[in-house]
Structure 1
Amino acid sequence: MLWLRRGVLAQLPSSPFASPLSRLRRLLSAAAPAISPSTGFAVEEYLVSTCGLTRAQAVKASPKLSHLRSPAKPDAVLAFLAGLGLSGADVAALVAKDPQFLCAKVEKTLTPVVVGLSGLGLSRPDIALVVPLAAHKFRQKAMVSKLQYYLRIFGSLDTFLRVMKFANVLSCSVERVIKPNVAYLLECGLGDCDIAKLCISRPRMIASNPEHVQAMVACAENIGVPRGSGMFRQALQSVAFLGEEEITITVAYLKSTFRWTDAEVGMAVSKFPPVLRRSKKSLQRTFEFLISEVGLESAYIAHRPVLLGLSLEGRLRPRYYAVKFLKENGLLKCDPSYYTVFKESDMTFKKKFIHPHKEAAPHLEKDYDAACKGEVPTDFRFT
């Protein structure tokens, strides 16, 4: 970490960070403003010319830095950030978000944090990704222990960064909020991997009031998915932050539009909870296609609701047209189950329905691939 500790001397001509700082300033197309003995340090101009903020951002940020009398401390911080590898755009975004970052003590605060994160196995590029998202929390030494905990829960830095983009978990109390939520979810039968996936899809859940998380669990159980079941994580993802009224409206829509009974709606929702979050337009288009073109019965779909979650343009239509083509040209010995046709992975579908007919229908795979990309041909071809 010798390179890092030398960074605190970046404002001196002999500093090894003098070059990164110069590059940063050239990147921002300006030099630092001069210090005037009569007017003091021109903070607003410094933020624009050296840090890359817009004039509006600088006007908003400058009052928080009005106590500065020289660029010495901000220069040291900018050199430190340049040494970590932050781009000019990253620096500008960070300063706009947390102007007081420019007042951080490099040697007493920032360097120990970086040393601590390095001890967790993070590389310099990793740390450069954390800084803009952590912002003011990066100026606190508790940052290291918090991140250590999250890396254990989320399993990787990548997952942590994805969660941080939507929920600033570093600002939450680990003891009062995060740990109680994690402990409760574990009690509900979710594993660490399940919790990590849950946090990716619903980042704010882990940082919610524990009482709210308990209410979400109760809601998942109320739609017919018991805790501990294989579908419970999906149920929790589906009902998270949905109000009881929203769920009631969706259930009523399913009954009226699909002509499902209460029992069929309950079965569909419990088997495929994500149906609660599908848009009405998407549900109706998919349902109409399955009924009108494919010829499926409404009750058949209720027993296999996952069909409503598959892409109409990217999967259902292309596969239906491919199978229809094979049937019309006598290439299938028997009618396949459309549930199987639609549910199979792309590789398995091709292995069963495309590859065996390469000689008879050499263009079929090309046409099918084009259809999956939205380029639905007017007709599948033999030659």
Structure 2
Amino acid sequence: MQNFLLSMLIASKLCRKSTQLGFLPQNPFLAFNSFTCKTYSQLREDSFTVSYLIDSCGLSPKAAIHASKSVRLENPDKPNSVLSLLRNYGFSEIQLSKIVKRRATLLVANPEKILLPKMKFFLSIGISNTDLPKILVSNPQFLTRSLNKCIIPRYRVLKSILFNDEEVAQTIKLGNWCFTNLRMDNIVSNVKLLREVGVPQRSISLLVTGYPDVAFFKHAKFGEAVKTVLGMGFDPLKSSFITAINVLGKLKQPVWESRLKTFERWGWSREVALSTFKKFPFCMLTSEEKIGKVMHFLVKEMGYTSEDIAHIPNVLTLSLEKRIIPRCSVVQTLKSKHLVKNDMRLGGFILLSEKQFSECFVSRLETTLMVR
């Protein structure tokens, strides 16, 4: 009878925490009925686990109840040592809460044998104290995978491709999911193909560190992108070759064709569109809505031709509200006062840095307004 009453008390406590979020029925007898298959000891551990996840890890009651399905804590000793280790390696309380929410089983890992060696390894290859918590929160699998059987062998493959730890660290930082989940033989085959067509090491490093998701593509898909880029006339010795592979690898064929049709509607022939892609491949990643808005403003309202834009396609990636419209307004005002040439090219002011534009145009306008 005593055990029955204690079990009822624990079930009621769990119920009170969860009913705030509508997770369990408010009646503790109904809650207890759902736990009848559990022993008193299990109920007690469940209650402690949920309380610990809320009080020590900062999880919400709903998140704590969900996380308690994957881990059961008997006492605070081991989870306290895990949290202490993570704090010593720069984890904030918010980061601790996030990583526990995503991988609660880390709380029962051996901090000295399982977690600490991995933390030391990542720091040893150049990952900073600031970046390490961000990487591990983003991908807790780093702390659950074997150091000797998974992480170090994969690191060695990247090191053989990139040759220095700084670039390996950058790849892990940007492509941590690729590093732990995708097959390494793909990146090895992809890099081998690039070397066969004459791509220099600096461009290979650009691909792996800058676009790791593309570097890890399945080899057949990657090979198609390389073949297409070569067919378009890109020079393997230039970095634009890698940029084009990145863009083509991310765009499905129907989307690619739709982008071309969008440009055609604004007066570009297919040849002009492809030539523009060679000049600035990122223009094809611009959404059709953004292309339409920029083209409409520059062509319909400002009087530039679509050919003017084809000469500087990177304008399509600039912010319409924060850069294009304000700068055009300043230049139009200066034109109206005959302070700049009426036939000034778009590239003559739209691509300047903020400092250059301010010195060349804004200060001139301010001076004029002050004189008046």
TM-score, normalised to structure 2's length?
Answer: 0.72
Q: Partner residue of 1:155? A: 167
Report the Cα distance in structure 2 between the residues aligned to 1:358 and 1:38, rounded to whole angstroms: 75
Q: Do the aligned partners of 2:86 and 2:96 also contact (CA within 8 Å) in 1?
A: yes
In the alignment, what sits opposite 1:48? 54
Unmatched segments (≥5 aa) in structure 1: 1-35, 363-381
Whether 2:314 is the aligned partner of 1:302: answer: no
The separation in 2 between residues aligned to 1:303 and 1:212, in whole angstroms, is: 31
Aligned-partner Cα distance in 1 for 2:83–2:214: 35
How far 1:247 moved relative to its partner? 0.9
Counterparts of 1:334-373 in structure 2, within 5 Å, are 335-355=343-363, 359-362=367-370
- Given that residues 137 and 171 in structure 1 are in contact (C-alpha distance below 8 angstroms), is that contact kept between their aligned partners in structure 2? no
Q: Distance in 2 between matches of 1:225 and 1:38?
A: 65
1:273 and 2:314 correspond: no
Cα displacement string for residues 299-338 of structure 1 (whole angstroms, at most 9, x for unaligned residues):
3433443343333333332332222222221323674323
Query: Structure 1 or 2: larger helix share?
Result: 2
Q: 1:189 to 1:352 in 2, by over 3 A?
A: farther
Q: How many residues align?
A: 324
- Kept in 2: contact 1:267–1:303 (CA 8 A): no
Using the TM superposition, give the Cα deviation of residue 185 of structure 1 relative to its aligned residue in structure 2, in angstroms.
Answer: 4.2
CA contact (8 A) 2:330 2:365 kept: no
User: How many angstroms apart in 2 are the aligned matches of 1:123 and 1:276?
Assistant: 34
Relative distance call for 1:228 and 1:72 in structure 2 (3 A) is same
Check 1:244–1:173 CA distance in 2 against 1; reply closer, same or farther (3 A cut): closer
Taking only aligned residues, the RMSD between alpha carbons, in angstroms, comes to 3.4
Q: Residue 240 of structure 2 aligns to which amino acid in structure 1? A: M
The 8 Å contact of residues 163 and 203 in structure 1, kept in 2 or not, is answered as: yes
Matched, 1:90 2:98: no
Q: Which residue of 2 aligns with 1:209?
A: 218
Paired letter, 1:332: V
Could you say which residue in structure 1 is the equivalent of 2:26?
none
1:169 aligned residue: 179
Displacement of 1:195 after TM fit?
Answer: 5.1
> Which residue of structure 1 aligns with residue 9 of structure 2?
none
Q: Please tell me the residue identity of whatever aligns with 2:111.
A: V
**SS in structure 2 of the partner of residue 208 of structure 1:** coil
Is 1:74 paired with 2:79? yes
Distance in 2, Cα, partners of 1:76 & 1:220: 53
Residue 16 of structure 1 is matched in structure 2 by: none
Mark the runs of 5 or more structure 2 residues left unpaired by the alignment.
Answer: 1-39
The aligned amino acid for 1:89 is I
- Closer, same or farther: CA 40–220 of 1 in aligned 2, 3 Å: same
Return the TM-score normalized by structure 1. Answer: 0.70
CA–CA distance in 2 between the matches of 1:288 and 1:74?
Answer: 59
* Residue of structure 2 equivalent to 1:241: 250
What SS does the aligned partner of 1:64 have?
Answer: coil
- 2:32 is aligned to none
Runs of 4+ in 1 over 6 A off after TM superposition: none
CA–CA distance in 2 between the matches of 1:153 and 1:181?
A: 20
Q: Deviations over 1:224-245 (max 9, x none)?
A: 5343334223322322221112
Q: Percent identity?
A: 23
1:374 alignment partner in structure 2: none
